[in-house]
Each structure stands twice: as C-alpha cells, then as structure tokens.
Structure 1
C-alpha cells in the first residue's frame, strides 16, 4: 500500500497500480496516497494512464486525477471553467510565492514555466531554434536559443514520436515491401483504424463516428455530395463571412455544380455592425427564420480569423433535421473491411463515418496522427485545457498591459485590440491582434527577432491584411517564457514601425 510521500511510485507493484486504477476509473480518490507530493502524484497518474491505454485503449476510462496542483488547476476530470479574474488570482498567487511583485516581470514568466506541472510535455516535441528559421536575424536573436513559436494554428510542432514511427514504417517497407500492407504492428491496409480510438477521444465522439481520409477540401466535397441535395425550396448553405478559402471555394463550386445561383444559395453570416464576432443568438435566429430554406449549415469549430469558438452543440441542435443521406461519393475503402478483398464489386457499405472513406490513406500521412496521439496518452484533456486557459490568459494580460489603447504602459503610439472573444468558453488558445497601423513592418521585425510565423512564397500565413496578427500559445509545447518573449519582441518591433511612420 502507498501511504506516504517517502515512497517512490516507480517502486509501486503492478497489482497496486491495477488496484488504484480501479478506484480512479470510478472517480474515487483512494486515501492511501493522500500525502504524496506532486512529483509522485504525476508518476502515479501516468502509470494508471499507461495501464488504461495498454489494456483498454481509450474505451471506458475517464481518468480522475489526484486533486493536487500548486497552480490550482482543475485536475479532477471536471470541465475547466476559467475567467480573467481567475487568471489574475493565479498570477498574483504565483507572484507572491516567487517574491516577484511585478506580474509583467520576465522573471515571473521563468518562475511560472519552471513550476508548471506539464512542462515535461514540451520535451516530446522538436522545438525550432532561432538559427534554423530562414528569416531570423542573428544580430537580434541568439541562433542557439529557442524560437518564439506561437503559430500552432498554422502548423504544430513535430512530435518526436512521429519521427520514430515514421522510421519504423520506412524500415518495414525496406525490409518487407508489399507484406507491409498486412504485417507488423501497423498493417498499412488498415493503418487509419489504429488511430480511430485516439482521434475519437480527442473530438468527443465514438470511433464509428470518425474517419481518417483525404485532405480538407476533398473531404468537404465528399461530404457535400451526400448532404447537399438542393431543391427549389431548400437550397441554401449557411457559413460565416470571412470563412477560410478551403470552405468558401468548395461551397461556392458545389452550388454552381448543382446549377444554383451563388448569390441566392450561399449565405455568409456577418457580425453586427461594429462587431467582429458572430453572436450565437444571431445564428440561431437565422436558422429559426429561414430553416425551411437551409440545406446545409457549414460552420467551423474555430473561426480562423478571429479565433472565435462556435457553440457547435447549440447550433447543431437548432439546425438538425431528420434525413437519410445514403447517396454519396464512394470508393474501395467505403467497403466493409471484412469483405473488402472479395473483389466481387458488390458494395458492402461500411457503417458510420467509415462509409465516407474513398481510398486507403497513405501510411506516411497517418503516422503524424499517431505521433501526436502518443503525446496525448501522457496527459489529460482537462489538464491541457486548463493550461491553455492560463497560458492564453497570461498573454492576454501582457498584451492589454503593454499595447492596450488606454494603457499607460505603452512605449509607442501604436496600440492593438484583441478581437478574439474575451470569454474563455468562446475561444481556444488563439488571440487575434488588430493593430492601429499597417502591420507590414511590425510583422517583418517580429520574424527577424525569431518569432516563427511561416512564410510561403512571400505570403505570410499568420498576417491577415491589413492589420491582424494571430498569436497562438499551444498548451502542448509553449510556455510562459514564450509568451513573455513574444511581448518583448512585439514591443521592439512596434518601436521600429513607429520610427518609419
């Protein structure tokens, strides 16, 4: 039995882990380890997670982690509820504990990052150095220091597990050739199915409700062929204004392919005058008023430009209609696996989302998904969401402090506002910053200082003309130091921009 913090969890026998797992899976916290320190708690939690993963996958395991965290972060498996007030209380608490009164002091960011119970997750990723970024200026940033990588909304960092799994599959190809389709730990013929449990867990679905296939725009077209059946009375597709081009172009072309008029059938909902985000009540109002004319409601989880998190459950509940969508674009991989290789050309349609697959996903495209799932095995979504709220809340506090229009701490005349919703339940980890001047010079100066915003053929992915820059502290690998360093780089960049005005 584990009774005191002097006992190391690494020495815990396997049957004890099973016993504790039995408690945790029922949401009960055994009192036999109530005196454990935080490090032992993390080790115990991880052993139970490992046991659950190996034994059950994600099925039937809703972990109830020990309720011990110096950050006051919810570790009980309940839904994270965070506010700006709680972020300030957290910062003040940690400031008092560290003896750092100034909450904007870079030393506090160092203390927060060092004290973070999830700081080890960053080690599971390759983190780019300033010297490896093509546009960083070595006179402005140390080539050996970590870059300021706050653009996970464009491309996340590579998990080290991805490299390992990819090498294993390439080695199998080299040694087995065609037998790789059916042999080994990950047979390529159904490699996507090995990731379904993990993906379903991440999106809150059942495994039969998710499928890995194709690319984004291809999947949009595949789904619209099944769900968009326009009639004279019901032909409208509802989406948000300033939708991502993948969505906009696909929907526009589908409407034209069905012989409809885009101006009549494509409804782009716009925010109220003077606002930048759509209100849920306005979306619901349109559905209520025009429901009999709507064929498809096509909204993202996160609005890429503003960072707004849509209330998908409420919107879906309002727009859901009973219908049978059996007709769709089909392919060999729409066929049930058990009879797929009968080769009789008689379709045995797979159930659920699997029936929307068209072809065998290439193993080298599935591997990155498997790699990130390896990371998610080591931490709970509840902890990640809590960490995300505190990270983004800290960055929000710094932005308002140094760059708010009415702030007394601005070092230049340039200011910015955050157009992302202030309520935590209405956003993810992205903040969209709207500046009072054109961002051309600011953006270029940020990149020179090691801020990684990807540039493709001179088109800056995270620069949204004329005045918005998106900043995203990702809870898996970013930390408080990254946020503080970004603010320093932004302040320096604004000074350069102001000098050119």
Structure 2
C-alpha cells in the first residue's frame, strides 16, 4: 500500500474500514471534552460499553439467587467460564480442552513452572530473553532459588548483539543448542514488552524440544494482539493476561494453556485445588486429588465470576468483529501507517529525532511501536499527554504507542504523528 501523509488519506481509510464500527463499543477517555487519542492498549485496554451491563446481570443473579446462582438462572456460575473458551481458544490457536481461565498472570507462571520446571543436578537451567518483563525475571529467579540453584548459574539470558536492540532468532536458537545438555526449560515472552518484538515461538519451541527441554511462553503482550498457534507450535504451556489487548479490566483474569500431550502425564507435579478436581466427582468431596482431564485440571481456586464477566464482555466483541484474523489485517495496516508517519517526521527535519526500535517486519511485531526520542524524551511524552495523546513511558527515553484495531483509527495515528511533530518545537 502507498501511504500518504494527509488528513484526507486517513479519513478515507477509516471510512472504508469495516471494523471502524467497533470503536463505538468502547469508552474512550476525554480530553477537553473530545475523545483522547488512546494509544496505550499495550498496557490497559479500554472498557467495553457493555461491561456495566454484563456486570449488572451477574449482580442481579447474585441478588435474586444468592448461592443458587452457581446452579440456576440464565448463566449458572458453575459453568459460566465455558462460554468464553471457544473464542479464547481461537485467539490462542488451541484446542478447547487446552485452555483454562484462572488467577492472574504471574500466579499462573508459578503454577505452570511447578509442572514444567523439573530440574535435576545436570539439567536445571532456564533460558529466557534478557530484558523480559520484571515479573518473569522475578518468577524465574525465585523458582531456581526454591530448587536450590543460584540465579547467576541457572538462568541464561539471551541478549541482543552489540549495537542492536532486538534479538535475532538464530542467536536464540544457537543459545538453546549450545546449552542443550543443561536446559530444563526455555521460557520466553511472546512479545517483548519494551521493544515490541514478536518472537518466532514455533522455532523456539522446536529447538527447546530438540534440546530435551520444555517450552513455555508468557503471552501478556501477544494474546489478542498477534496470531499464535500454541497447539500447532507444540508449546508445552503458556499463560497471558486479559487486560491489555483483550480489554478485560485492570488486573483482569489470566488464562493458561497446557498442550494435550501432557493431559495424561502422571509424572507432572502440580499444586492442586478443589476447582481442578475432575468435574464428575467434584461434589463427592473425596480425599485424594484426581485432576480434571485437560487444562482445567490445573485450576486451583473457585472461578471469580465478576472477572469472568468482564472478560466475556470483551471476548464477545472479538467474536462479533470476526476474530483475530480480521483484526490482525487491520492492525498491520494501521501500524505500518503509523510507522510511515513517524519516519516522515525524521525526513522533514533531516534527523532521526524519533527512532523506532520495534522491528519493521510486520511478522515480527504487533500493534506496539517503541519510539526512542533523541532529545527531551520525557518532556515530549508530557507534551503528548497534555495534548490528549495517551501513550506509555519507559525509562530512559522510550515512548510506547499502540494502535489497537478494535478501537483505534487511521485518524488517531495521523493526529498522534502531528502532535509528535509539534512537540519538537514546543518543548526544549
């Protein structure tokens, strides 16, 4: 596509966009009475307009039925989560039985590592990307220490080459190969939170298995953003949060994937709870844990219905929008247009005042563009916020901007680029 740096071009694309109607299904923050330009879905997605209605329905069910709400009414709570699984499984590229909805992200990281980090004196190391989100770093550190190992020895971090910002797939695979005899687990993000790089998870999983290790993925910035095929890629496990691209509310409920090849593996340890007990005998309250077959066998605690309700409000919009395939097609165009506009600023001023460190290849990124500001970075970020452009700041000089296809428009990114250009002379 040949892009143009004009308001007319942006408007014309929005008029032709069949997904543009879904913008109206979200509540957009206001700035001086007008819609703000919200480009922070990588951190917290917008609230669906339907969220209040969905929550009210469950509050009414609680009011009307009290404890019987678990078994009666239009949406009995005991099976409420099953309504969400088909859409979620489609987003994650998984079979229905491989997906469950539970807890929060880092809790799920720990619970899944109980099963899939099984170190021995020889094979005990975990390989991950350097600069992973701190929660993953802390979780991995605490897990290796729990098993009696030192982080400096047991954790291998793959770093970019000197002078580069993102990782090369061949370097990741080589590190796996070089440490094959000692690796117990390869634990990678789907998308790196800082650079926005989308990793080749299929290749990473294959290399991990060839090395004799498990492969697990944190999809916090990938779920609902980029297409993933967890089952086909043969990932052992994965987890994600729902409050970024899946718009399920601050601290919204997480999810987990376990590949079906592990369903009957009795050698896997797990921390058990009543909610993961086999469904046909759960209410017999018998001693001795017997897990439900499938990912639900990793459940621990009672499902939080109100959090599930917020999740459902957003997933229903995904379903009406035609799923991730349609959203991804728009996302690639929208992000490429934003990239074109930002690079156009550099051309105007004859200097790389805004350097995008997110990969230029659409297959290696999602919605997010991470922009390094050459000068006055924090002041520029503040200028954007003061003018109704909501992005995300990362030290020391990066502004993360994400145009989400469900509610962002070509007009949004055009206006944001205009603001970025004006900021160069407005701040010192």
Alignment TM-score, normalising by the size of structure 2:
0.84
Q: Deviations over 1:94-153 (max 9, x none)?
A: xxxxxxxxx2122221222122122111122122221xxxxxxxxxxxx22110100100
1:242 and 1:375 map into 2 onto residues whose CA distance is 33
Out of 373, 376, 381, which is 1:443 matched to?
A: 381
Match of 1:186 among 52, 59, 75: 75
Cα distance in 2 for partners of 1:341, 1:267 equals 45
Q: In the alignment, does 2:368 pair up with 1:430?
A: yes
Whose helix fraction is larger, Structure 1's or Structure 2's? 1
| 8 Å contact kept, 2:272–2:289 | no
For structure 2, the residue ranges without an aligned partner over 5 or more in a row are 215-264
User: What is the RMSD of the two structures over their aligned residues, measured on CA atoms?
Assistant: 1.6
Superposition deviation, residue 492 in structure 1: 2.2
Aligned position for 1:279? 168
Determine the C-alpha separation between the residues in 1 that align with 2:425 and 2:306. 45
Secondary structure at the residue paired with 1:238? strand
Matched, 1:491 2:421: yes
In the alignment, the residues of structure 1 paired with residue 352 and residue 339 of structure 2 have an alpha-carbon distance, to the nearest angstrom, of: 17
Pair 1:162 & 2:47 matched = no
Q: Name the counterpart of 1:479.
A: 409
The one of 363, 387, 397 equivalent to 2:340 is 397
Structure with larger RCO (C-alpha < 8 A, sep 6+): 2
Counterpart residue number, 1:465: 395
Deviations 1:143-180 (A, max 9, x none): 22110100100011112232221110011111211111
- What are the equivalent positions in structure 2 for 1:332-411 lying under 5 Å apart? 332-380=274-322, 381-402=324-345, 404=346, 407=347, 409-410=348-349
Q: Report deviation, 1:192.
A: 2.0
Q: Distance in 1 between matches of 2:281 and 2:49?
A: 36
Q: In the alignment, what sits opposite 1:230?
A: 119
Could you tell me how far apart the structure 2 residues matched to 1:228 and 1:234 are? 10
Matched with 1:127 is 28
2:372 counterpart SS class:
strand
Deviation at 1:438, TM superposition (A): 4.2
Q: Kindly report which structure 2 residues correspond to 1:188-207, keeping only aligned pairs within 5 A, or say none.
A: 188-207=77-96
What's the CA shift string for 1:298-353, capped at 9, x where partnerless?
Answer: 11111111001111111101112488552111111110111111111232211121
Q: Distance in 2 between matches of 1:214 and 1:481?
A: 37
- SS for the counterpart of 2:75 is coil
State the number of aligned residues: 374
Preserved contact between residue 186 and residue 194 of structure 1 (Cα < 8 Å) = no
- Aligned-pair distance for 1:414? 7.0
Q: Is the 8 A contact 1:216 1:246 kept in 2?
A: no
Secondary structure of 2:126 counterpart: strand
Q: What 5-or-longer segments of structure 1 have no aligned partner?
A: 1-86, 92-102, 131-142, 454-461
Distance in structure 2 (CA, Å) of the matches to 1:414 and 1:335: 57
Superposition pairs of residues 255-274 of structure 1, within 5 angstroms:
255-274=144-163
